[in-house]
Chain A
Amino acid sequence: MQPRRILAVNLANLIGRASRLLEKGGGTTLPGRVALKIMPDLPERLVDELEGGCVLVTGTNGKTTTSNLIADILRRSGFKPVHNRHGANLIYGVTSALARDCGPSARLRGDIALFEVDEATLPEMGRRLRPRLIVITNLFRDQLDRYGELESLAERINAGLRMLEEGDLLLNADDPLVATLGEGTTLRVSYFGMEDGGVGSDATAMQHAADSKFCRYCGEPLEFKRVFYGHMGVYGCLRCGRSRPAVDFPALALSLRGVEGSELLVGGWNGGLSLRTRLPGLYNAYNVLAAAAAARLLGLEADKVTEGVEGYSTVFGRAEWIEAEGRRVLLILSKNPAGFNEVIRTVTEDAESGKTLLLALNDLTADGRDVSWIWDVDFEELVPFSREVIISGTRAEDMALRMKYAGLPEEKMRLESDPKRAFLAAVRSAPPGGAIYALTTYTATLALRKALAELGYVRGYWEE
């Protein structure tokens, strides 16, 4: 065997175990960093040996949920996916996940690779791993301070996709920018999209968070017939005639049940596929739709898709109910304007009116250091439903100010920068049997999860 490869994999795993023991968080990137130093082409070597090939999932919002759903469906179908479940989605995180799934002889204990990858890393991952399927959920404005602006990101993804020779490309037809990404590739392109006429609203309701409103070919403003959320909708260009592509995997019917989840009927399967999910909100219905379409392209069975989607509930921090002191706590990751607006819409659909909210805004690198985006979120919608708002995070003051200008009286807000104290304040604010809605940015979600683990309400995520 290859001593270099064995060294790379085993050293990575040793470091991973050590950092988990020392509780330095999940230890998700350092092992990969070390392994790549020792063997720069380790990921492609490992993945090449898998019979089932490789699936990549990317997009600004929903890539973790979508790839976790696909992983569950694969498992129920008898596969053993090698998967970066905790969402460390740059090359280091992916390499760590690969190493972790290797035996001592540095061979993968699995048969198909499934990775969620960062949008900006997709070209590199594609080139290295030569995937059989790429899923792109959406492209929103997110952490522009790291990636430059949306269109140049799309250019780079386009260029990356054109380098690939074969495989499936599954795109969101409702996102005008994502829908163009199939242009000029030799990949087999199919689309998923919303086709239930009752969902969404007419174009006058377009939110401030809408990012992609111009035809990518001629620059003309797009005409939207319907808007589902953000810039997702049914659109066309009056100048050059380009329009939303025909949808291969439509959501023919969708009924949203607020924070309880939704039911959807997916076309592209014989007689349609009826799915029920506990994941709340329209944005999660899109994730389920994308996962079901991906499963179809992978040749999986309908009943496995149903089971996988229905059995799926907790994704660390993404939309998770927990119990604490007789209160129901909904943890929802909310990290950019489009995503946040959808979360707000979902939370306000819930019947209960005097809600206890916990908002946590961080400005660490993984959140994006610029917090300007909170001024694009329609927090005004949340104000009438708020009993008390506990505000936390490294930029708690900015969030408090946003709520003040959204119209929340100062006596209804409480600043508590420490996550543990913030959570206990929320527990005191909510009545027994009541609900707490925690809407938190990425690293603030990690911090809250850690606080909840220390308080004994959940287990640490590296123990799952």
Chain B
Amino acid sequence: MGRMVLRICHLYPELMNIYGDRGNIIALKRRCEWRGIEAEISLLSLEDKPDPRLYDLFFIGGGQDREQEMVCHDLQKVKGEALREAHAAGACFLAICGGYQLLGHYFRTWKGEVLPGIGIFDAWTVGGETRFIGNVVAEWEDGGGRRTLVGFENHSGRTRLGPHSRPLARVKVGHGNNGEDGWEGCRCGNAFGTYLHGSLLPKNPWLADEIIRLALSRRYGEVELEHLDDSLEERAHAAAVRRAAGKRGG
């Protein structure tokens, strides 16, 4: 087998990147490169229509209100159909915060305005009066042993999951999806949604690898990823857990 290529579609990179979410793309790219896998990244913005067969991984970050409205409109008019098709065909998705909300059924703002989503996640979001802001530590629920996720949340939306979604993780510190049911994030098929900025993947490298593996397997069958030295990643992960518990660094 020749060199593997991971085809990543970065959706709305200049509109949906409010809290360093592009760090996730940097992490995916580097972790592929370090293993001799080529990461091909395509930037798709407003009006660009993705070919659903071309990409194995779609990424969308969070944005400010105005950007979110523009993206909502574009998803309805231009990209929604193709993204649903890609998802049904097994493509991987990683959606953070605002992107997570827009890939659900809808987002109803605090004022009652409704932004329709594209229904990749069986989930819906309602704006809350206060913002959830702070470090998050959550325990992974989606199989694969006991793992923790660390990140930083900053959202007013309260997301609830329908029966076709399963939650990603149980919140230990922070608020997660809605601050009530104790869940953080969601998974539908190969689509992952979460509120965690941070950036998420550099500090949770095992999740980055899980996503790379899933995305590659669509084209190359079961793949085994070469082991990387993640000691620095693990230190940063541990430091984030410490800071979330309110302890000083060191």
Interface residues of A (CB under 8 A from B): 141, 144-145, 148-151, 206, 208, 210, 213-214, 219, 363, 369-376, 393-398, 400-402, 404-405, 410, 415, 417-418
Which 5 pairs show the lowest CB-CB distances between chains A and B? A375-B23, A375-B20, A372-B20, A372-B19, A397-B236
Which residues of chain A have C-beta atoms less than 8 A from B233's C-beta? 401
Q: Tell me if B135 is interfacial: C-beta within 8 Å of chain A.
A: yes
How far apart sit A151 and B67, CA to CA, in the bound complex (Å)? 11
CA distance A208 to B20 in the complex (A): 9
Q: For residue B66, which residues in chain A have a CB less than 8 angstroms away from its CB?
A: 151, 214, 219
**A-B CB contact pairs (8 Å), 17 listed:** A145-B133, A151-B64, A208-B17, A208-B22, A214-B66, A219-B66, A363-B243, A372-B19, A372-B199, A375-B20, A375-B26, A376-B17, A395-B249, A397-B236, A397-B239, A402-B23, A405-B27
Given the contacts A145-B154, A405-B26, A369 and B65 also touching, CB distance less than 8 Å = no
**Residues of chain B lying within 8 A (CB to CB) of residue A400:** 232, 235-236
Closest-by-CB residue of B relative to A377 is: B20
Q: Which residues of A contact B175 (CB under 8 A)?
A: none
- Which residues of chain A are near B18, meaning CB under 8 Å? 141, 144, 149
| B250, CB-defined interface residue at 8 Å | yes
Contact indicator B20/A376 (Cβ below 8 Å): yes
B90–chain A nearest beta-carbon distance, Å: 28
Closest to B156 in A: A148
Which residues on B are within 8 Å of A, measured CB to CB?
A: 14, 17-23, 26-27, 30, 64-67, 70, 131, 133-135, 152, 154, 197-199, 202-203, 232-233, 235-236, 238-240, 243, 248-250
**Contact of B64 with A149 in the complex, beta carbons under 8 Å:** yes
Q: How far is the CA of A145 from the CA of B19 in the complex (A)?
A: 10
Contacts of A393 in B (CB 8 A): 249
A394 touches B249 (CB 8 A): yes
Query: From B19, which residue of chain A is reached at the shortest CB distance?
Result: A372
The answer to whether residues A375 and B22 also contact, given A150-B64, A398-B203, A405-B27 and a CB cut-off of 8 A, is: yes
A210 / chain B contacts, CB cutoff of 8 Å: 14
Contact B198 A372 (CB under 8 A): yes
A393-B249, A396-B249 known; A401-B203 Cβ under 8 A: yes
Knowing A150-B64, A370-B19, A372-B152 touch, does A397 contact B197 (C-beta < 8 A)?
no
Are B30 and A395 neighbours in the complex by a CB distance under 8 Å? no
| Chain A residues within 8 Å of B134, by CB | 145, 369
> Quick check: B22 and A398 within 8 Å, CB to CB?
no
B197: A residues at CB distance < 8 A: 370, 372
Report how far A397 CA is from B239 CA in the complex, Å. Answer: 7
With a CB–CB cut-off of 8 A, which chain A residues contact B20? 372-376
Q: Is the CB of B232 within 8 A of A394?
A: no
Q: Given A151-B66, A394-B249, A395-B249, A401 and B236 touching (CB < 8 A)?
A: yes
Contacts of A396 in B (CB 8 A): 239, 249
Q: Are B135 and A369 in contact (CB under 8 A)?
A: yes
Contacting residue for A398 out of B17, B65, B131, B239, CB 8 A: B239
In the complex, the answer to whether B243 meets A151 with C-beta atoms within 8 Å is no
Residues of B within 8 A of A151 (CB): 64-66
Residue of A nearest to B239 (CB): A397
Collect the chain A residues with CB atoms within 8 Å of residue B198's CB: 371-372
CB distance from B184 to the nearest CB of A (A): 16
A189 to chain B, nearest CB (A): 24
Minimum CB–CB distance from A203 to chain B (whole Å) comes to 12
Beta-carbon contact of B202 and A397 below 8 Å: no
- Contacting pair A404 B232 (CB below 8 A): yes
CB closest chain-A residue, reference B30 = A405
- In the bound complex, CA of A270 to CA of B35 (Å): 63
CB distance from A334 to the nearest CB of B (A): 15
> CB-CB < 8 A to B17: which residues of A?
208, 376
By beta carbon, the residue of chain A nearest B153 is A370
Given A208-B22, A376-B20, A400-B232: A213 and B240 within 8 A (CB)?
A: no
B228 to chain A, nearest CB (A): 11
Contacts of A394 in B (CB 8 A): 243, 248-249
Contact of A395 with B243 in the complex, beta carbons under 8 Å: yes
Known: A372-B198, A372-B199, A405-B23. A398 touches B236 (CB 8 A): yes
Verify A376–B22 contact, CB threshold 8 A.
Answer: yes
Cβ contacts under 8 Å, B64 to chain A: 149-151
Check B26–A144 contact: CB distance below 8 A. no
Minimum Cβ distance to chain B for residue A363 (Å): 6
